[in-house]
Amino acid sequence: HRRDKLRADKILQDYVFEKKINVIWDSVVEEIFGDNVVKGIRIKNVKDRSIKNIDIDGVFVSIGEKPNSVLAKNIGVKTDEKGYIVVDKKQGTNLQKIYAAGDVTGGLKQIVTACAEGAVAANSAYEDLL
């Protein structure tokens, strides 16, 4: 974990500690090793710059939870208090003919959800053109 504490919801933090999951604080993944399958990672401590290799069998990538909605805000699209773009059931924003879908709208952060919302947004945009 690149920080010295978790910022996740309390229930998720409790789960990590209850399951005795080893958290490597203040570190980022620099490299993933392996040919066709993951064999290990190289991590770097962000405070003291030390490097460490760890043998592992798999990797789960999580980019983060902060939405990148600056461009939308700059053109007047409404966002909530956390920066997520506010959309209606057709994925429309407060601006006519402007749609949003996926992680930037909040809700479930899943590929299948983003794809479904993208399909709704595309269909809504198509209907606007008719």
Q: What is the mean pLDDT of residues 88-92?
A: 98
pLDDT for position 104 = 94
Multiple choice CATH, 70-129, 3.40.50.1000, 3.30.70.20, 3.50.50.60, 3.60.15.10 = 3.50.50.60
Q: Please report, for the chain, the start and end positions of each structural domain, with discontinuous segments joined by +.
A: 10-55, 70-129
Give the amino acid at 123: N
Quick one: tokens of 71? 């461009």
Give the amino acid at 84: Y
Task: Indicate the range of 4-8, 28-32, 114-118 predicted with least confidence.
Answer: 4-8
pLDDT, tens digit, 9 for 90 and up, residues 109-127? 888 999 999 999 999 999 9
* Closest to 96 measured CA to CA, from 108, 105, 88, 107: 88
Write the CB contacts of 101 (distance below 8 Å, at least 6 apart in sequence).
87, 91, 114, 117, 118, 120, 121
Q: What is the mean pLDDT of residues 46-68?
A: 86
